[in-house]
Amino acid sequence: MDKCPVCHGYDNHEFSRDKKRIYYLCNDCSLLFVPRNLLIGIDEEKQRYQAHNNDFENADYRAYLSKIIDSLEPFLLKGTQGLDFGSGKTTLFADLVKERGFAMISYDLYFHPDEEIWFKKFDFIVLSEVIEHLREPRHCLERVKSLLNSSGQLFIKTKFYPSDKKLFDNWFYKRDMTHVQFFNRNSLNQLAKSVGFSGSFKMIGEDLYRIVL
């Protein structure tokens, strides 16, 4: 048993294990998470992000990001201010969003630690493939939510885990050692509720969810 990083409860059990890690299933919020004593160190984590092949030149990555923006765009007003929270190495996502007539800042704890963001407000914030990496997802989302202005929108992209144990055991997404928890609809909504959102996430694209303040 370990403390659930979303609901902070202790009612969980081992769901699966592989050579490197154990995965607990929270009986309250259905988060699947790696116990915190089995996480890789910060230096190793950073090295793995450094090795991510998300280059500006990589056409596939550009197409991948453009598809996300296609799904976001209908919900955004031209000229409004966005934040790409957990951008990774490049600012490509923000650059592509700007090309479509919005403002956007990139923030990344390791690569773009622009701490000025904590003194700003944003119309929309995007966490694209970020939430599964966070050591303290609830605490982090609480801080992110405080950056939204009164009509702010939050977009989260993450892959929901397969509930079938056999499928989970062979799931590529869990092999990334920097992925330390996995959500389904229930756990994502519990996370939103725990930080004070009144509604629930709605799916607006592939693995992409939106919630409003």
* Nearest distance from C-beta of residue 4 to Zn ion, angstroms: 3
Distances, alpha carbon 96 to alpha carbons 15, 25, 38, in Å: 40, 37, 36
Tokens of 42: 């910060």
Residues between 76 and 115 with contacts to Zn ion, criterion CB under 5 A: none
* Nearest distance from C-beta of residue 28 to Zn ion, angstroms: 5
3-state secondary structure (DSSP) of residue 209: strand
- The number of CA neighbours under 13 Å toward the Cβ of 108 is 20
Q: Which stretch binds Zn ion (CB under 5 A): 4-12, 66-74, 106-114, 159-167?
A: 4-12
* Nearest distance from C-beta of residue 169 to Zn ion, angstroms: 21
φ, ψ for residue 158, nearest 5 deg: -160, 155
Q: Which helix (H) or strand (E) holds 167?
A: helix 165-169
Cβ(193)–Cβ(138) below 8 Å: no
Nearer Cβ to Zn ion (16/81): 16
Nearer Cβ to Zn ion (31/97): 31
Tokens of 210: 């939106």
Nearer Cβ to Zn ion (26/92): 26
Residues between 5 and 34 with contacts to Zn ion, criterion CB under 5 A: 6-7, 26, 28-29, 31
Cα–Cα dist 18/30, whole Å: 20
Nearer Cβ to Zn ion (153/187): 187
Does the footprint of Zn ion cover residue 125 (CB under 5 A)?
no
Contact footprint for Zn ion (CB under 5 A): 4, 6-7, 26, 28-29, 31
